[in-house]
Amino acid sequence: MTLVDHDLAARVIERALRHGGDFAELYVEDRHGFTVSLDDGRVERPRGGSERGASVRVVLGEATYFGHVDGLAEGPLLELAGSVAAGVRAQRREGESRFGARARRSGSGARAALAPGDRTALLPQPAGSHPITEPPQEVAAERKVELLRAGDAAARAAGDAIAQATVGYVESRRIVEVFNSDGLAAADDRTRTRLSVQAIARRDGRIETGSETRGGHAGFELVADAAQEIAGAATRKALTMLDAVDAPTGRLPVVVGNGFGGVLLHEAVGHGLEADAVHKRASVYADRLGDQLAVAGVTAYDDGARPNEWGSDGIDDEGTPTQRTTVIEDGRLTSFLHDLRSARRAGAQPTGNGRRESFRHLPVPRMTNTYFAPGEASVEELIGDVDRGLYAVSFGGGQVEPATGDFVFGVSEGYLIEGGRVTAPVRGATLVGSGLEALAAIDGIAGDLAIATGFCGKAGQSVPAGVGQPHVRIRELTVGGTAA
């Protein structure tokens, strides 16, 4: 099945380039979603929907002209292309009168390599790279409800202190097609499934929450038997934190847990490697390609092709096949993350990181699944060498200013390390620092790589992103605690 035929795509692109442009693209999408949750024992908020739409983009020199419409009918698509072209024309006129040579330096190279009548076959999807065993839309709604109830029952069975549980199920399918003036015609069929549990524990007036999520570019098979395990992880966190003491404050060694602990890499390093930030010098990594930023043994990847992973796709949202990109190799910064434009500008190869939330958004360089490669150490060794420090197992979330690399992470599950042993759980700890500082201070990596399910927000767009790592030790980091 195709959403728009090639002949129409070619005419849209031709019209988009009517007033010039170096590049034009048509992106079309058909998306279906379904979500339902269970809260306090009650199945609620079932919601489903379907959306179809398209966007057209023309690039002329450094400028991008963009528009989108709901629906895929021929008339509105051609109208959209016409209105984007009108934007090009208006700016060229303006540019020629006001900026002279500057705007004229490009823009004469309009070309529509995908000519009307072309019958280029869609690029075949990388075969079986993200196989879907049980398409969620074919699974009876009752089974999804049973899954929620199983999660709820498992959470409640974890102890009397569990006061409440919320279980959420989300499925989506996005079929996308990308056509551009370089002759590209590519398609992708993306199914994602996700199950999450949040537990609230109460005891003696104390209240703590714990949550766990499993998601993938996968079908219902990913979560079908996972309710118990996910609920178990969520309740364990909530119950553990009931006994938490105030977090310490100061400069301390920090051992960061595997899986979601990788959000530190994502925020503190990954965003600074996205080539749009690099181009605008809004990244501390801008001039650092080839530099030794961490000790040998520290290697990190962005891998959008990792089978069935949450942040994986067949192609990115510009039609570039996803790939594994080594961003740090033995401590040396080796690559930025590119979309088509940033790659062209930098004279680099696209890395399959041109992602967008939907047809309503422009693609920007984004991470897919970002993680540290496994090292040689054991978790026991990493912790055993620490006299007094923090074991940050999981984060509630994090935030970074890419321009400075300054980050803040709320530790949702953390423990004191005393005399080489993990002791009391702590609450209210935050990690504060900068990416360069944290990278340089890594002094141990374990072998237990795990990748967790995250959402990444940038430029007003939210996309699924896998974050991961094995256990990693940072020699020293600022811990902001509640014990002042």
Residues 325-384 that bind another protein (CB under 8 A): 360, 362
Give least dist CB 280 to another protein, A. 5
Give least dist CB 228 to another protein, A. 21
Q: In whole angstroms, give the CA distance from residue 76 to residue 95.
A: 28
Give least dist CB 222 to another protein, A. 20
Site string for another protein, 273-292 (x = CB under 8 A): -------xxx-x--------
395 counts as binding another protein under rule CB under 8 A: yes
Tell the burial category of 376 from Cβ atoms under 10 Å away from its Cβ (0-12, 13-18, 19+): exposed
Backbone angles phi, psi at 10, to 5 degrees: -65, -40
226 counts as binding another protein under rule CB under 8 A: no
Closer residue to another protein, CB minimum distance, 367 or 400? 400
Contact region for another protein (CB under 8 A) — 67-75, 152-160, 301-309, 383-391? 67-75
Site string for another protein, 112-131 (x = CB under 8 A): --------------------
Contact region for another protein (CB under 8 A) — 207-215, 308-316, 346-354, 369-377? 207-215
- Transcribe 400-460 into DSSP letters: EETTTTEEEEEEEEEEEEETTEEEEEEES-EEEEEHHHHHHTEEEEBS--EEEEEEEEETT
Contact region for another protein (CB under 8 A) — 7-15, 68-76, 222-230, 383-391? 68-76
Distance of CA 100 to the CA centre of its chain: 41
Site residues (CB under 8 A) for another protein, limited to 182-201: 200
Q: What single-letter DSSP state applies at residue 1?
A: -
Among residues 39, 35, 38, which one has the least CA distance to residue 48?
A: 35
Give least dist CB 241 to another protein, A. 9
In the numeric block, which tokens belong to residue 125?
């999807």
388 counts as binding another protein under rule CB under 8 A: no
- Cβ–Cβ under 8 Å, residues 264 and 407: yes
Site residues (CB under 8 A) for another protein, limited to 130-149: 141-142, 144-145
Q: In whole angstroms, give the CA distance from residue 301 to residue 210.
A: 29
Give least dist CB 66 to another protein, A. 4
Q: In whole angstroms, give the CA distance from residue 101 to residue 416.
A: 62
Give least dist CB 141 to another protein, A. 5
H or E element, residue 35: strand 23-39
CA distances from 247 to 231, 242, 259, 400, 478 (A): 26, 13, 22, 22, 12
312 counts as binding another protein under rule CB under 8 A: no
225 counts as binding another protein under rule CB under 8 A: no
425 counts as binding another protein under rule CB under 8 A: no
Please identify which residue in the block is written with the tokens 């979560």.
223
Q: Angle 331-264-461 (CA atoms, 0-180°, nearest 5)?
A: 115
AA identity, residue 102: R
Site string for another protein, 34-63 (x = CB under 8 A): x-x--xx-xxxxxxxxxxxx--------xx
Closer residue to another protein, CB minimum distance, 156 or 324? 156
Contact region for another protein (CB under 8 A) — 9-17, 97-105, 112-120, 217-225? 97-105
Residue from 2, 71, 113, 380 in contact with another protein (CB under 8 A): 71
Q: In whole angstroms, give the CA distance from residue 327 to residue 364.
A: 18
106 counts as binding another protein under rule CB under 8 A: no
Task: Give the binding-site size for another protein (rule: CB under 8 A).
Answer: 86
Closer residue to another protein, CB minimum distance, 56 or 184? 56
Give least dist CB 396 to another protein, A. 4
Residues 6+ positions from 128 with CB-CB distance below 8 Å: none
CA distances from 142 to 119, 146, 149, 150, 269 (A): 43, 6, 10, 12, 43
Give least dist CB 427 to another protein, A. 7
Residue from 8, 26, 84, 162 in contact with another protein (CB under 8 A): 84
